[in-house]
Amino acid sequence: MEKKLSKKALSKSFHNWYYGHLTCFSQEHMQTFGYLCAMLPLVEELYTDEEEKAKAMNTYTAFFNTEPQLGSVIVGITAGLEEARANGQEDVDEETINGLRAGLMGPIAGIGDSLVVGTVIPILLGIAMGMSTGGSPLGAIFYIIVWNLFAYFGMKFMYFKGYELGGKAVDFLIGAQGEALRDSISMLGGIVIGAVSATWVSVTTSLQLLNDSGEPYLVLQDKLDQVFPGLLTAVFIIICWYLMAKKRMSPIKVMLLLVVVAFVGVLVGFFNPGLTY
């Protein structure tokens, strides 16, 4: 009799991944234990022999790490493959499943990071910050609700779509179409980040040169605005990107560096925080 995963087992597997994909997270294992938790209810339902269960679960002890939201599709795909293996399909074995998982980690991470982290989250945060003008709590409430709804239902859709597609999804995700999709989303993510930065980040200088009578004859910010509006903002954003992307400096170190730059800038008169005492 053909074995078929129940909706209850699939639902439990998805929720294990949704709530526990960072279970026992470490640099050595990353999301491995979260993956094990997600596969456990499936293996429990598909196999009755304890040795078969142990052998099946051993497949998922290999290192795993990807973007967790879009990465739900990998868990769904392997759920379908595990079902096929339990039914005795000869071309689905441990090597096949782990090869698929390893092959999809990178492409899914590239698409997911660009789409979710680089596009969706900045858009939601931009809307939330606009709603928070004047100290309103609506922005925070909006972000918490919308992000959690998006994450939950988006991950659930990807999980069950992966289960339905099985191995058919692999050709798309790692083929030419997947490469084009990753490039397109990366470009879109860059545009969104640039738009959010230009809207919510503002760096200006208060540097002025005075004449003998104490009147300013050169206001540096006015001159910069005539040549390149927002030049200082663009320079600071590019420097931050360079330090994090090219020099692999952590965001915390970059923020501390910006604090030092701001402090020195205020001391020498380049920046004016507008504080009065």
Q: How far apart are CA 79 and CA 86, in angstroms?
A: 11
> In 10 A of CB 91, how many CB atoms?
8
At residue 214, the pLDDT reads 74
At residue 55, the pLDDT reads 85
Residues 6+ apart with CB under 8 A from 113: 67
Read off the amino acid at residue 227. Answer: V
Q: How far apart are CA 145 and CA 151, in angstroms?
A: 10
Residue 96 CA from chain centroid, whole number: 27
Residues 6+ apart with CB under 8 A from 144: none
Mean pLDDT by 10 residues, the chain (277 residues): 83 91 80 89 87 85 85 88 78 74 78 81 87 86 92 92 70 59 64 72 86 80 87 90 87 90 90 73
* DSSP annotation string for 221-275: HHHHHHHSTTHHHHHHHHHHHIIIIIS---HHHHHHHHHHHHHHHHHHTS-----
Q: How far apart are CA 29 and CA 34, in angstroms?
A: 10
Read off the amino acid at residue 235. Answer: V
Q: Are strands 216-219 and 208-210 parallel, antiparallel or unpaired?
A: antiparallel
3-state SS, residue 132: coil
Q: How far apart are CA 114 and CA 183, in angstroms?
A: 9
Burial of residue 92, with CB atoms counted within 10 A of its CB: 0-12 exposed, 13-18 middle, 19 or more buried: buried
Strand pairing partners for 208? 219
Residues 6+ apart with CB under 8 A from 239: none
